[in-house]
Amino acid sequence: MPYPMDASLVTSCLVARSGIYHLFRALQLKPGETVLAPDYYSGNEVAAIHAAGATIAYYPIKLNLEPDMDALSRLVARLEPRVIYVIHYLGWPQPMAEIQALCRKSGSILVEDCALSLLSEQNGRRLGSTGDYSVFCLYKTLPVPNGGLLVQNNASLPELRDLKLEPGPSVTATGRTLELAFEALRSRANGAGKALFAVKQTIGRMLRSASVRHVPVGDIGWDLANVNIAMSSFSNYIMRSLDYEQIRQRRRDNFKLLQSKLAGKVRMLREDLEEGVCPLFFPILVQDKRATAIELRQRDIGAVEFWNDPQDNPAIGASARHMRAHVLELPIHQDVTPDQIEYIASQVLHLNPEPARC
Ligand SMILES: Cc1ncc(COP(=O)(O)O)c(C=O)c1O
């Protein structure tokens, strides 16, 4: 299997946020030591870092999804952070050479969050392999029920070596597998997804009435009670049978096809797709994200509102706020066929959503 699955020091948790929590616990930050993290974040990674007892300061992310390097440099000089935390958004890489140089200068630990960027490369190098540590979320890109990986690229922290994780309840695998199948079917726009969703709800009801413990996967939230649950062996089993190069290629082809249909007609968040980038979604900027998402879902297109929450952090800058208000993701994953891309494009063009005002 490719990196990060083949890395020599990997901890496999139920979800990536658990790996982040264990990493920051193991780093044993002292009072006053800071983690510098981007102001555009999901909430799960930040909750995990907080729960591990660390103090976070934020650096601004620009509208092209990259850090404001001048602001970041100034913050690094002022705060001398123990950790610089980098998020690679939706498959697009961050300027790692510059960020790594900053880390060397300040003696900071570099952590790469690749939760949204599995299989992506920058100049032939896998994302997550530059930093001291990296985290990955598997179920966002692969058809697995759960799974988060924490990779140690350089050092081996004894606390992580001694970590004992308990096996996850199998109900998680069942529920999430059906959910994924449902997502895939929904974007096929033939109505079958709705039927499958009903099946899943029925199974969910049966399990709840049988008092089977439910562990959420794919949500935004934090529960310390779940941090010691390992990835299910079912995920491992599926991962051994996947064609990773084909997954990346299909995502790239779908992205380019959708781009060719929508170019000049929607406002795209990123128009570039460098060699090796494995896009997670096709992100567009619309004025009314909620209304557009509802309209598209009514047409069986699994549009995702990207990071509505949390908006109550005063450290979030203007660009990150703008993205939270307006970024909508269109599906381009490996199960979406060229015909479905045509369908998605035709529906978006028909709806003609107002682009986000600058
Ligand atoms: C940037 C980022 N980091 C970390 C996570 C945590 O991933 P998981 O859901 O596997 O805990 C997420 C997911 O929400 C994310 O978007």
Number of structural domains in the chain: 3
191 & 133 share domain: no
Q: Which residue is closest in CA terms to ligand 1's atom 16?
A: 42
84 & 140 share domain: yes
At residue 193, the pLDDT reads 47
Question: What atom in ligand 1 is closest to the CA of residue 17?
Answer: 11
Q: Is 326 in the pocket of ligand 1 (CB under 6 A)?
A: no
Residue 134 alpha carbon to ligand 1 centre in Å: 12
Q: Is residue 221 part of a domain?
A: no
The preferred substitution site among 44, 86, 89, 323 for testing ligand 1, maximizing ligand atoms within 8 Å of CB, is 44
- Residue 121 to residue 277: CA distance in whole angstroms: 6
Q: Is residue 129 part of a domain?
A: yes
What dihedral angle (degrees, nearest 10) is formed by the CA atoms of 184, 188, 189, 190? -100
Q: Is 177 in the pocket of ligand 1 (CB under 6 A)?
A: no
Q: Which residue is closest in CA terms to ligand 1's atom 4?
A: 45
266 & 333 share domain: yes
Q: Is 227 in the pocket of ligand 1 (CB under 6 A)?
A: no
Q: Is 176 in the pocket of ligand 1 (CB under 6 A)?
A: no
Residue 40 alpha carbon to ligand 1 centre in Å: 12
At residue 164, the pLDDT reads 92
Contact indicator for 282, 330 with CB cutoff of 8 Å = yes
Contact indicator for 51, 224 with CB cutoff of 8 Å = yes
Q: Is residue 222 part of a domain?
A: no
Residue 349 alpha carbon to ligand 1 centre in Å: 31
150 & 61 share domain: yes
Q: Is residue 337 part of a domain?
A: yes
* CATH number of the domain encompassing residue 62: 3.40.640.10
* CATH number of the domain encompassing residue 310: 3.90.1150.10
Residue 3 alpha carbon to ligand 1 centre in Å: 18
At residue 358, the pLDDT reads 82
Q: Is residue 220 part of a domain?
A: no
Q: Is residue 42 part of a domain?
A: yes
Q: Which domain holds residue 174?
A: 170-214
At residue 172, the pLDDT reads 52
Enumerate the H helices of the chain as residue ranges. 16-27, 44-51, 69-79, 96-106, 158-161, 170-186, 192-209, 233-239, 244-262, 289-298, 318-326, 338-351
156 & 207 share domain: no
Q: Is 137 in the pocket of ligand 1 (CB under 6 A)?
A: yes
The preferred substitution site among 23, 42, 215, 228 for testing ligand 1, maximizing ligand atoms within 8 Å of CB, is 42
Q: Is 87 in the pocket of ligand 1 (CB under 6 A)?
A: yes
122 & 18 share domain: yes
Which residues, 6+ apart, have CB-to-CB distance to 186 below 8 Å?
193, 194, 197, 300, 301, 302
Question: What atom in ligand 1 is closest to the CA of residue 42?
Answer: 16
Residuewise pLDDT in 10s, the chain (358 residues) = 999 999 999 999 999 999 999 999 999 999 889 999 999 999 999 999 999 999 999 999 999 999 999 999 999 999 999 999 999 999 999 999 999 999 999 999 999 999 999 999 999 999 999 999 999 999 999 998 899 999 999 989 999 998 999 986 565 555 555 666 545 544 444 444 455 445 555 555 554 554 445 666 777 788 898 899 999 888 898 999 999 999 999 999 999 999 999 999 999 999 999 999 999 999 999 999 999 999 999 999 999 998 886 668 999 999 999 999 999 999 999 999 999 999 999 999 999 999 999 8
Q: Is 46 in the pocket of ligand 1 (CB under 6 A)?
A: no
86 & 45 share domain: yes
Q: Which residue is closest in CA terms to ligand 1's atom 7?
A: 16
86 & 183 share domain: no
Q: Is 17 in the pocket of ligand 1 (CB under 6 A)?
A: yes
Q: Is residue 301 part of a domain?
A: yes
130 & 193 share domain: no
184 & 327 share domain: no
Q: How many CA atoms lie within 13 A of 292 on its CB side?
A: 29
177 & 141 share domain: no
Among 206, 213, 196, which residue's Cα sits nearest to residue 302? 196
197 & 63 share domain: no
Q: Is residue 320 part of a domain?
A: yes
Choosing from 117, 144, 161, the residue where a domain stops is 161
